[in-house]
Amino acid sequence: MKSLQINYLAVLAAAIVTFILGVAWYIGFSEPWMKLASLTEAQIQANGGGGFAYIISFITYILGRTPWLFCSNP
């Protein structure tokens, strides 16, 4: 049985590309979403602006690309 070799650069690149696509998607739909949610830019900034959410989402993108790191080999 072959052992898996993780290409960490590819994992990082996939996480970055996913993050950039997600940012572009949410920036494009932020105004309609704010209207539907009855929120203003000031309200969002008063609650922290969502910077922490970007950090957490980037970490989950990296972890989502490497699920085999958490599995033991039989």
pLDDT of residue 28: 87
Q: By the 8 A CB rule, do 6 and 70 touch?
A: no
- Whether the per-residue pLDDT at 17 is higher than 50: the answer is yes
* pLDDT tens digit sequence for 55-73: 888 888 777 766 666 565 5
H-assigned helices in the chain: 8-28, 30-37, 41-46, 51-65
Region 36-49 average pLDDT: 83
Region 47-52 average pLDDT: 75
pLDDT of residue 68: 60
pLDDT of residue 74: 44
Region 27-47 average pLDDT: 85
